[in-house]
Amino acid sequence: MRHAHPTEQAVGIEYYVSDTDGTGGRLRARDDHFRVRELERFSTEPVDTSMDAYPHLVFRATLRGWDTNDFARRLSDSLGVSRERVSWAGTKDKRAVTTQLFSVYGAEPTDIPELNRADIEILGRAGRSLEFGDLAGNAFELVVSDHDDESATNTLAITDDLAAFAGTDADPALGDPITVGVPNVFGQQRFGSKRPITHEVGLEIVRGDWEGAVMAYLGRPTAAEPDDTQAARAFVEKTRDWQTALERFPNRLQYERSMLHELAEHGGEPDASTFRGALERLPTNLQRLFVHAAQSFVFNRILSTRLERGLPFDRPVAGDVVCFADRDAPEGLELPDVDRSQRVDERRVQSVTRHCERGRAFVTAPLVGTETTLADCEPGEIERAVLDDLNLEQADFDLPGEFDSTGTRRAILVRTALTVEDNPRTFSFSLPKGSYATAVMREYLQCDPVDLG
């Protein structure tokens, strides 16, 4: 194991699996260097099926330089319908070439407009709209730019290490598919690529420190931000002068300004309810994200501690909680179903290990909430020690409004068939929904997370 980049350590990712030097380089030098295609499980009827029974038109779109939300908004505007009529299964990034499904309620094929940088293929009709649960995973094709000239040997050595980590035995060669595994960490983008403070806000919320949560979001300037933003954050940290801070915060920081409006309107010395009210000025999805990011940070810390202690990721030890594979996953994709779980005692370690080897079961760790099942024995000791170190208890996640979370568990290993080709250096692999391509690529590049895009 090697120590991770300091920016990753700040979000709980302490190590790389491989001891081999990374290749350096970066992703997304161009949009077409990051290609992702959704792996769905959604069936359609022929396009000439009655709209009465199947009112949703389904199409596949390949988008270049489109954020999913922006594309949906442009599409609904062009159709002259509410944005609520447009649905999709997974949100994709703007700096990429993405292929994904959309459904539009009440539309005919001839209604779909031609939009710039969008190739559309009509698939058929459906009786319901697309939902998040229809996404099973994503297939990636990623080009690495500016890597070391002599990095092919290191790539092979890292692949060998990751194959061993996955519990597979193979002789890697460029161009040949090989099954590798990496810790299923939450990537940097979960916490903010340039200003990773989302989990810090969430931790303060969970601890009941609403003022600390607000100041974590408004203050704590970072060198990656423009000078005027840094100055505004430093001012509000020092003075707590909400009205003057509102005048200093740039207009582009709309969320911060909305919070400052709430604080300035109350004047004087705000109490806990006022600080909470400032946070509730933010969109509900962002309110939920704060606590989710705190859970993700705890999860990353648990995985780092397990790695440090030398416990396996590809198979259980006594006390682990495993989940089983989703029976409806697309062929070749290992998709955990965390709703089907089981605690592993000493008597069942060997039998569950065989299930793990065949991709039928997965060791898990908690995304801690009020109802999360914690492990026993050494895995449970790790989970409880991380919570103690952060001064957290499960009951702390019993929170008002959008901040509340019952928690769940998540697979600790993500395993995939990987192909690496040269000229240009291209990595191809598929991951289940919720897993990060950067969790794979960070092991190879071992660079500043910003360069992972």
CA distances from 196 to 131, 156, 435, 440 (A): 29, 32, 19, 20
Collapsed DSSP state (helix, strand, coil) of residue 125: strand
Residue from 21, 67, 93, 376 carrying the catalytic annotation = 93
Nearest to 157 by CA among 16, 333, 34, 33: 16
- Alpha-carbon gap, residue 313 to 164, rounded angstroms: 11
Mean pLDDT of the chain: 94
Q: Write down the architecture of domain 286-411 according to CATH.
A: 2-Layer Sandwich (3.30)
- Alpha-carbon gap, residue 12 to 300, rounded angstroms: 5
- Alpha-carbon gap, residue 316 to 363, rounded angstroms: 6
Q: Please indicate whether residue 32 is annotated as part of the active site.
A: no
Query: Domain locations in the chain?
Result: 2-27+144-184+414-452, 33-137, 198-282, 286-411
Do 281 and 261 meet the contact criterion of CB atoms below 8 Å apart?
Answer: yes
| Percentage of the residues of the chain whose pLDDT score is greater than 70 | 98
Structure tokens at 446: 């071992």
| CATH value of 33-137 in 3.40.50.300, 3.30.590.10, 3.40.50.720, 3.30.70.3160 | 3.30.70.3160
The position carrying tokens 């609403």 is 210
The parts of the chain modelled with pLDDT lower than 70 are 150, 170-175
Global pTM value: 0.93
405, exposed or middle or buried, with CB in 10 Å at 0-12, 13-18, 19+? buried
Do 380 and 387 meet the contact criterion of CB atoms below 8 Å apart?
Answer: no
At 174 the pLDDT is 65
Q: Write down the architecture of domain 198-282 according to CATH.
A: Orthogonal Bundle (1.10)
